[in-house]
Amino acid sequence: MHGRTGLARTHGGALLSTFLIHSGTLICMDTAGTVVPGDLLIQDGLIAAVGPAVRDALPQLPGGGADASYDAAGCFVLPGLVHAHLHLCQTLFRGLAEQSDLLRWLRESIWPLEAAHTEASIAASARLGLCELVAGGVTCINDMGTVRHTAVIADALEESGIRAVFGKALMDAGEGVPAELKQRREEALEEALALAKRYDGAAAGRLRVSLAPRFILSCTEALWRDVADASAENRLIVHTHLAESPAEARAVEAAVGGTAARYFAGRQVLSERFVGAHGVWVEDDELALLSRARAALVHCPGSNLKLGSGLANVRAWRRAGIRAGLGSDGAACNNRLDTFHEMSLAAGISRVLVPREPLSEKEVLELATRGGAESLGLGAVTGSLEAGKQGDVMVLDVSSPHLAPNEDGDPYATIVHAARVSDVRLTMVSGRILYRDGSWATLDAERTAAESRAEARRLRGRLETGAAR
Ligand SMILES: [Zn+2]
């Protein structure tokens, strides 16, 4: 275990834990775009002070000084990254579903694999993904889950210390959906609401539960209407996929006689709680619908490239005023859970697609921080380094040769184009260290890697023999 958290007394005498990250360059991702050399003080899980000379002022601060600290000399200090579209249950499928396109990939590989999951294999899959994510500076995720055993994912989330919005995938229809994944609508919704009752706001507020209807082709109209009602009634995020690939868009058109966003608008699914992954093939008038509803979209460039789905025009999303985040999707269609890789792809794709007005590197980093947080309804909680927000922080070492020289360059370009996950030195959520200098504090990475190999072998065995779970 690493990262002793210091205890200090307030003026009132109550114990506060304090942690000081000092001597770094703060990349705050606040609306003012503050970039300044300085320090960051976290007290009782919250950012208490951020800026130049915070350390010098410490004797005057409540508690009389921080007694646990991290020297960030030669480092950028950033808000922890927000990973806004993920399938932790698919980490175990990495490398098992190659050379495919979306619908074939789902029907021939992913759904059968998800159907072959047991509690043990999902737990291993989730922990494996979480090890990769926290070592990559991710402090908040939005996970779609699978149809069964979602409580196991919740346990892994709680154990890891990460901040998460998560749900169980809802599927009550669809061509090629295995029997194990297809539920009656009432049963699917009942399980999702039971999950919300148990976990929404759990782990001191770190865990939030969403409703996660998978996509139009796996859900009946009645389910979408129920989801819209349940989301409004319980203030739950609706996390789904839309307009990902041309073949999917054609299948949606054939199934419901229209495009995804129009279909959702007609069933009251769009709201400020709607988070839709991909949105590659969303038309201009649909962007207006999404914007009017204050819905959010999540850009997944690596997945869109690997499955040959297309290039999303995030500039058009932004012009329409749509909140947006960034995600890698699952490890079976990427194959990395690496936000730095996604940022670099997002910047490059935008240059090709919209050469007159490409996304700036700062805008790309916004997608991965404040934008993602706002998309998940967590804008007041995380996504920037500002006093009063949770102590969700990442320290990035920019002193290595592959990042040098960067003293006078654009720090956003350094982060988006040159930095790698292996440059992450520290990941904290609510002031609690999850990863520090190559070691995981909450997860056992070595055991997880061994477990994941064994569980992947068993999973492939079940798939080959068609063994009942
Ligand atoms: Zn996805």
What pLDDT shows up at residue 67? 59
For residue 124, count other CB atoms closer than 10 A to its CB.
28
What pLDDT shows up at residue 204? 95
What pLDDT shows up at residue 4? 44
Q: How far is the CA of 332 from the centre of ligand 1 (A)?
A: 10
Q: Is the pLDDT of residue 241 over 80?
A: yes
Q: Is the pLDDT of residue 3 over 50?
A: no
Q: Is the pLDDT of residue 50 over 90?
A: yes
For residue 122, count other CB atoms closer than 10 A to its CB.
26
**CA 101 to each of CA 15, 92, 98, 111, 306: distance values in angstroms, whole numbers, following the listed order:** 55, 19, 9, 14, 8
What pLDDT shows up at residue 13? 47
Q: Is the pLDDT of residue 313 over 60?
A: yes
Q: How far is the CA of 86 from the centre of ligand 1 (A)?
A: 6
Q: How far is the CA of 277 from the centre of ligand 1 (A)?
A: 7
* Per-residue model confidence as pLDDT tens digits over 97-136: 888 888 888 898 889 999 999 999 999 999 999 999 999 9
What pLDDT shows up at residue 288? 97
Q: Contact at 8 Å (CB) between 130 and 156?
A: yes
Burial of 149 (0-12, 13-18, 19+ CB in 10 A): buried
**Of 402, 403, 404, 383, nearest in space to 394 by CA:** 383
Distance CA 110, CA 454 (A): 19
Q: How far is the CA of 300 from the centre of ligand 1 (A)?
A: 8
Per-residue pLDDT averaged across 78-96, rounded?
96
Distance CA 57, CA 20 (A): 12
Please report, as a single letter, which amino acid is at residue 467: A
The more confidently predicted of residues 453 and 12 is 453
User: Cis peptide leading into 405, omega within 30 of 0?
Assistant: yes
Per-residue pLDDT averaged across 326-352, rounded?
96
- Please give the torsion angle defined by the CA atoms of residues 210, 215, 219 and 225, in that order, rounded to the nearest 10 degrees: 60
Q: What percent of the chain has pLDDT over 90?
A: 86
Query: What is the pLDDT of the chain when averaged over all its residues?
Result: 93
Of 54-63, 171-180, 233-242, which one has max mean pLDDT? 233-242
Q: How far is the CA of 89 from the centre of ligand 1 (A)?
A: 11
What pLDDT shows up at residue 317? 98
Q: How far is the CA of 83 from the centre of ligand 1 (A)?
A: 12
Q: How far is the CA of 216 from the centre of ligand 1 (A)?
A: 13
Per-residue pLDDT averaged across 139-158, rounded?
97
Q: Which structural domains are found in the chain, ordered by start?
A: 6-79+391-439 (2.30.40.10), 81-375 (3.20.20.140)
* Per-residue model confidence as pLDDT tens digits over 405-429: 988 889 999 999 999 999 999 999 9
What pLDDT shows up at residue 58? 80
Q: Is the pLDDT of residue 25 over 70?
A: yes
Rounded (10°) angle between helices 185-199 and 150-160: 20
Q: How far is the CA of 329 from the centre of ligand 1 (A)?
A: 5
* Per-residue model confidence as pLDDT tens digits over 174-231: 999 999 999 999 999 999 999 999 999 999 999 999 999 999 999 999 999 999 999 9
pLDDT band, very low/low/confident/very high, at 464 (cuts 50, 70, 90): confident
What pLDDT shows up at residue 16? 59
* Per-residue model confidence as pLDDT tens digits over 358-407: 999 999 999 999 999 999 999 999 999 999 999 999 999 999 999 999 88
3-state DSSP percent of the chain in helix, strand and coil, to 5 = 40, 20, 40
Q: How far is the CA of 80 from the centre of ligand 1 (A)?
A: 22
What pLDDT shows up at residue 467? 58
